[in-house]
Every structure is written in structure tokens, then in C-alpha cells.
Amino acid sequence: MPEHHFLNLGAGVQSTALYLMAIDGEVPVIDAAIFADTQEEPDDVYSHLSWLESLGGPPILRITAGRLGDALEAGADAKGNRRTDGGHYIQIPVYTKMLDGTTSLTRRQCTADYKVKPIESMIRERVGGQPGRPIPKNVTVTQYMGLSFDEPKRVIRVKQRFMEKPANWKVEFPLWDLEMTRADCVAYLKGRVPHPVPRSACVFCPFKRNDEWRHLRDSDPKGWERAVYIDKVCRTGSGLDAARYVHRDCQPLDEIDLREADQKSGQMHFRGFVDECEGYCGN
């Protein structure tokens, strides 16, 4: 039975470590690494991806479902479908502020439409399957995810999703099996990568800490301009029942004081992790 092995390459710390480990033979050999491009990543992600391609390792396949921000501006999904009630459809998980001041986070569809589905479509194509159909019964597919030992909830969520797939389409987590944390991956990459490994996420992804917003603003003017623009797009269109923002403070991105709370107050505060994508965008 033919076997096929693919790495979901987010081009962040964990998946970069996993790709280099595949080159070194420390994890199973892969047929290819697949990078699903939303066409909205910061410049340093694309530069890092080009560096990975220059190593001559397993082929890196760049695929795309289109430019995510264009769909946001059109108020449509990845296929161009719009809401039947005339409202403005937003796929990213934006923060909303109601008239009574309450806030919430909208549901996320971007990961499924711009990451999961394009990658699975490419895999079907590579193993001789048909669009939207199960993979051939005479082949086995294994997808490798760069989820580390400190991400148990994300591992569980992905495993639950794969329970709906046929038995010959499997998922593996080599970093988890090796009990490697993100910090272990950072240590592994030290000295191997001649530049800081970026976090892979759209420039306007709402799951950013203030230091990440500052880094985007200060190091990638085009990316920052794009993020500010899409933030404004989120508050356009008809049928809005709440004001939408990409920053958790529910203010226009270009008007926010992006200093940390301790920098504003002079007192130190713990800064934990914010929400992240489902193991596709940020690793």
C-alpha cells in the first residue's frame, strides 16, 4: 500500500524545527511540506520561507485559496459567497463592542477556508484523489503537525477533527511524541537559522500581543498599513450589529497605545498567552 507523508508548514518556530528535523532524519521522512498562503503574512515570514526553500530539503509546496483581506473587504467567504441577509460577512475572529459596552469575539472561519481545506485539497491531488472525495483506499496518508508538548489542548482538537476522517488518513505530532516544548524548539533552532524565526500569522490577525503589534508597526510598514486598513474594513458594510476591531481593546488599531500595562502604569503585570489559531497559522 503506497504511503504518503506531508508536513503542515506554518513557517513558525515549531514547524520550522520539524522541517529541519526531517532534513536531519530525526523524524520520519516527508514527501513534501505544504504552506497555505493567505497572501497576508508579514514580510519576514515570506523571507524565512524562501530561506527554508534554499536548503534543498523536502519540497515546499506553496498553495493559496486567495487573498484573505480581499474576501474580508467584499464581505464574502473564500468562494465568494455572501450573506443572504445583506450583512457584511467577516471570516476572521474580530472583537466586537455592542452599544451597551459588552464585548465578545466572533467565530473564526479563516483557518478552515484558507489553511485546512487548501492543504487537504493539495494532499488529495498529490495522492490521486478527487476534489471533495475520500482519498483512494489503496493509499495511506500521514499529516505531521508542528504542535509541541506544551500545547495539549490544540493536539486534542486536531485529533478530534481527524476522527472524522477515514482510517487511511492519519495525523501525527512528532514534537509531542518527543516531549519537545516551544522553548525546546527555540533552543534547537539557535545557531541553525541565521535570523529570528517569525511567528506565522496574518498581519491583521487579532490573536496578537501588543509587543507583536509594535513589532509589525516598527519593522513592516506595509504590513502595518494593511492591518490598519483591514481593521477599518471590519467596521464597514451593511447589517452591522456591533463595532468590529482587530485589537482586543476594541479601538481603531492606529489609535491604540500599544505600550504594555506596566509601561503605562510603571507597575509590572504578568502577561500570559493570548488565543491562537488551531495549530495551522502560528507554529
Q: Apex CA 23: angle with CA 203 and CA 1, to 5°?
A: 105
**In CATH, what class is 3-87+108-205?**
alpha beta
The verdict on pTM exceeding 0.95 is no
**Domains of the chain, residue spans:** 3-87+108-205
Distance in angstroms between the alpha carbons of the first and the last residue of the chain: 31
Residue 269: per-residue pLDDT = 42
SS3 of residue 65 by DSSP: coil
Closest of 170, 78, 158 to residue 123, by C-alpha: 170
Residue 259: per-residue pLDDT = 82
- Report pLDDT digits (tens) over 181-203: 999 999 999 989 999 999 889 99
Share of the chain above pLDDT 90, in %: 72
Q: Identity (one letter) of the amino acid at 186?
A: V
Q: Starting from the edge strand earliest in sequence, which strands make up the sheet with 103-105, in order?
A: 103-105, 95-97, 243-245
Strand pairing report for 60-63 and 103-105: unpaired
Give the other-Cβ count within 10 Å of 64's Cβ: 14
| H or E segment to which residue 142 belongs | strand 140-144
CA atoms within 13 A on the CB side of 30: 30
CA dihedral (190, 177, 55, 283) in degrees, to 10, reads -70
- Report pLDDT digits (tens) over 90-140: 889 999 988 788 899 988 899 999 999 999 999 999 999 887 778 889 999
Assigned C-alpha cell, 123: 494532499
pLDDT along the chain (283 residues), means of 10: 93 96 94 97 96 97 96 88 78 89 89 94 91 86 97 95 94 97 96 93 95 95 97 80 88 92 52 47 59
Alpha helices in 42-126, H assignment, sequence order = 43-53, 68-74, 110-111, 117-126
CA dihedral (160, 162, 168, 172) in degrees, to 10, reads -90
